[in-house]
A and B are shown apart, each in its own frame.
Chain A
Amino acid sequence: MTDRMRPEKNVYQDYLRSTHRLGRLVSVITLILLVGAPFVIGAYLGAMPDLGAAARGFLAVGLVWTVSSVAEFLIYTPMLGAGGSYLAFITGNLINMKIPCAMNAREIVDAKNGTAENEIISTLSIATSSLVTILVLAVGVLLLTPLQPVLQSPVLRPAFDQVVPALFGALAYRYYRKDVVLALIPLIIMSALFILVPSLASSTSFMIIPSGALAIGLSWLKFRKAQEGGRA
């Protein structure tokens, strides 16, 4: 390393250290704001959150998302660097926007993984992307507000009652097409259970646990078989 480059390295190391300090601070503040907001809203509405129901809901679906968060942290943090990662985890929409956006910016300026350039470009890219989303949503929400009576009209009510089936229909295509056989077995077993025990419909989110375990078990068997086939 030349003497001319040494100060630049020090500047970069100082930048990284302060980025971690700032990143941790704003992450903690954002966490407090996001977890505190339901209680503030509860006070405004005159009804605090039901902690028991929230805990049961967490056991049903939260564990799935916790595993997913750990995987996202391990996979995406090295790609995004420090500043980009703090911002990406605060602003969300990782897979559908932030990751492809940062990768696109990196490719355009040809920044290599693990370099100071990558750290700076990822941060600039994710921060810009987040600001654009915030702006588009703010303008959109302003325009939506006068449309509230239309959105709440009785004609449209059936549509808003079917948000969840619409989501799972769309996701079914996305995930089932990756492995139709793997998808059919849990679907058939779950359908049979719900047909034979109709009361289970009120605890669908709990049924994710056996259904997910079954799908992961089948996936593991298939993975082992493919590995053994590859070794033979």
Chain B
Amino acid sequence: MSVLSQLNSGTMYLICGAIVAFVAVVCLVFILRAWKAGKAIGMDVARMKRAMTASATFSVLPSVGILLGVIALSGSLGIPWPWLRLSVIGALHYETQVAQAAAEQLGLQLSGESMTAGGFSTIALLMSVCIMWGMILMTVFGKRYLDKLSGGGKVKARKEGPSFADAAMTAMFVGMVSAYIGSYIGSYVSGAGVFQFRGSWTPLAVAAVAALAMAGFTWLTEKKHLEWLEGFSIAGSMLLGMLTAVLIGG
């Protein structure tokens, strides 16, 4: 049995499905408690219903976009694990990047062909560990932070005007993207000998098509006001980029 077959086995569905089911129950419990509390403090039931209906309809299309992410990752990590990660806690751009970093540490490619059992369990662990900080911060500091915010300005309000924090976040991601795009350029130019221009150009072509597709999605969203496309932009661009690899033939 290949590793990918094992990753798509019933046992994997059971392990991942149990966690997804637990989180679904948690969501239901939070809905029931909030609904009851809302009624107890005199909130209009019709407004609560409207908020829930609006949220449900708002979430359908982005969820289909997230499903495309499951498809994108299924070739290398099987279906159940990306299903769990993208149903609970994760986000497509994060999952792919962390999986790639873990694969690199193990000397593997993020592909079904080169995946090993040990490689997968290490990738899965790193994916879990890297993104758990929001949950930890909320568990440890959430109550104190919210109490301070509601306690009459003990926490300083955010200054008016531009803040460096926003610029730093963008810069951090620019740095991350530059490292990867730079590596594709380097692999093409020097992958088969320094300045030989005989390395693989597939990753560069895939990245270029994905970027063009993203430009198209952005144009449609911003200029044509098709805001519903926003939820599909990353997964849709990725799938178009990946299609390029099929057309090139690897």
State A139–B121 Cα separation when bound (angstroms): 26
- A residues within 8 A CB of B226? none
Q: Is the CB of B88 within 8 A of A151?
A: no
Q: Which residue of B lies closest to A9 (CB)?
A: B41
Bitwise, B179-200 to A at CB < 8 A (1) or not (0) is 1111111110111001100000
The minimal Cβ–Cβ distance linking A130 to chain B, given in whole angstroms, is 5
- B residues within 8 A CB of A50? 105-106, 118, 122
- B residues within 8 A CB of A138? 20, 83, 87
Q: Is the CB of B27 within 8 A of A131?
A: yes
State A208–B98 Cα separation when bound (angstroms): 12
List B208-222 residues whose CB lies under 8 Å from chain A: 208-215, 218
Q: Is the CB of B97 within 8 A of A61?
A: yes
Does A1 count as interface, using CB distance less than 8 angstroms?
no
> What total count of A-B pairs have CB within 8 Å?
603
> How many A residues are at the interface, by size bracket?
35 or more
State A195–B175 Cα separation when bound (angstroms): 17
List B127-153 residues whose CB lies under 8 Å from chain A: 128-139, 141-143, 145-146, 149-150
Q: Which residue of B lies closest to A74 (CB)?
A: B145
Known: A8-B40, A198-B187, A216-B172. A137 touches B63 (CB 8 A): yes
The minimal Cβ–Cβ distance linking A197 to chain B, given in whole angstroms, is 8
Q: Is the CB of B120 within 8 A of A200?
A: no
State A83–B238 Cα separation when bound (angstroms): 33
State A121–B89 Cα separation when bound (angstroms): 21
The minimal Cβ–Cβ distance linking A59 to chain B, given in whole angstroms, is 9
- B residues within 8 A CB of A116? 41
Q: Is the CB of A91 within 8 A of B23?
A: yes
Q: Is the CB of A195 within 8 A of B189?
A: yes
Q: Is the CB of B121 within 8 A of A38?
A: yes
State A18–B244 Cα separation when bound (angstroms): 52
Known: A85-B138, A163-B110, A212-B171. A201 touches B183 (CB 8 A): yes
